[in-house]
Amino acid sequence: MKFDALSLQKFLMGECEPLETLVWLSDIFVPEIVSRLNTNDVRQRLGIYAGEKIPENERNLTDVRNRVSLILEYELARIATCILEDNGIQNLFWCYVVANRFPDLEVRTTSGERGLRVEVKCLQSIAEEKSANFDTLKKDIHPKTDFVVVFLWEWKYDSQEIKWNRSPFVHKAFVFHASTLAYLRDWYWLNKPPQDLGDGLQGFDLRYAVNCKNGIYNQEEGNYGKLLRIWKKDFEYQPPKSTLLYHTVTDYLSFKKIVITEGFKNLAYLLLPKITGSNEIYPIHYNDNNDQYFIGWQSKNVCFILNSFFSMFSKKRKNDILVHIFTNGANKIYTFNDRYDSTEYDLDGSQMKKIKKHEKPKYLIQGLVEN
């Protein structure tokens, strides 16, 4: 993709209004990065080759996820600098912030002047609880130049012709205006304190969020800023309205939905073939008047349904959906919550007979193997 060198330089040096920069990053610049990240040229350098093993235990998977996250962060900077070179810009580059502090990356001129600053977060889509953490205090964030980029990635198994077995694939990237996201986070956090504060208060010191339990203060435990806990739709305390905040709320709610749905899809593609023995998987849609709703995924006689979508319907419509699924040949349903705990049911018409709860996707498969 060819960029206009002048506007590229202007955006990256933080000379435009934050909203304008946000839209440019979201719609133009970061999609180009993702497109290049997903090329074989990049993926071959992150691939797991025949004979190589990674840990399967969640505890030890953490280091692999950390490493993928770090590499994607570096690749972003490398590719972003390549884009500058491709467009004839010699006086700008992306650099790594070596000190362990916000942000991860900065745009600099060759004379050292600073432009945009970017914090990179990576989430593996099938992780039951995506917990990447944006806990930078608002005082440390510059409203004009600072942004958060979130990559949603998953292992992608490649065809036989390609020499590696699997490699990370970025399914989607999201960009947030850091200052507004932090504002939203704090608005929610401060308006929803724990019940057992005692005579203390929640708040911040110079470096951390500070919690209080029964009057005793402590450094916040690490939940503050978890990306999927930042904001909830229709929260009872609404922040003051602004265009930027409106964008952030809309983008955040969309981000949350996409992250959960994408992980659910990847799980369906991972697990359904192991259950049914078939690689033929297709989406389940429900048509209501002129609207079409996504419900889940089906392979042969087995359906995966996402609770957060299914529960939106009235009892009558739920029955219609179940009959529709049954008519399409399914007699087994697994319902999943947003953290991918599942419940197994036998389906007969619109009647669901509960068989078993599976706390985690891996137990679902283990249970099948044991049976």
Partner DNA sequence: GATTGCTACAACAGAACCTC
Partner DNA sequence: GAGGTTCTGTTGTAGCAATC
Verify binding: residue 121, DNA, rule CB under 7 A.
yes
The three-class DSSP label of residue 313 is: coil
Verify binding: residue 299, DNA, rule CB under 7 A.
no
Under rule CB under 7 A, which residues in 30-69 are in contact with DNA?
58-63, 65-67, 69
Nearest-angstrom CA–CA distance, 74 and 93: 13
Which of 291, 326, 327 lies closest to 309, judged by CA? Answer: 291
Listed ranges 141-149, 166-174, 290-298, 357-365: which one lies at the site for DNA (CB under 7 A):
357-365
Pairing label, strands 216-219, 282-288: unpaired
CB of 172 to DNA, least distance (A): 14
CB of 28 to DNA, least distance (A): 24
Output 30 or 92, the one with its CB closest to DNA: 30
Interface pattern 310-329 for DNA (x via CB under 7 A): -x------------------
28 residue type, one letter = I
* Contact present, 148 and 134 (Cβ < 8 Å): yes
- Binder to DNA among 45, 78, 163, 213 (CB under 7 A)? 213
- Binder to DNA among 128, 172, 200, 320 (CB under 7 A)? 128
Angle at 304 between CA 301 and CA 309, to 5 degrees: 135
Under rule CB under 7 A, which residues in 336-355 are in contact with DNA?
337-339, 343
Compute the chain's Rg from CA coordinates: 23
Angle at 131 between CA 125 and CA 135, to 5 degrees: 135
Output 3 or 168, the one with its CB closest to DNA: 168
CB of 277 to DNA, least distance (A): 26
C-alpha distances out from residue 87 to 1, 16, 47, 206, 214, Å: 10, 19, 29, 41, 58
What lies within 8 Å, CB to CB, of 29 at 6+ separation is 11, 80, 83
CB of 309 to DNA, least distance (A): 10
Output 307 or 331, the one with its CB closest to DNA: 307
- Cα atoms in the Cβ-side hemisphere of radius 13 Å centred on 345: 20
> Which tokens go with 152?
């949603």
Listed ranges 24-32, 35-43, 267-275, 333-341: which one lies at the site for DNA (CB under 7 A):
333-341
Verify binding: residue 308, DNA, rule CB under 7 A.
yes
CB of 15 to DNA, least distance (A): 26
Pairing label, strands 302-306, 332-336: parallel
Residue 185 parent element (H or E): helix 178-190
Listed ranges 130-138, 270-278, 294-302, 322-330: which one lies at the site for DNA (CB under 7 A):
130-138
Which residues contact DNA (rule: CB under 7 A)? 58-63, 65-67, 69, 100-102, 104, 119, 121-124, 127-133, 192, 194-195, 211, 213, 221-223, 229, 232, 307-308, 311, 337-339, 343, 357, 359-360
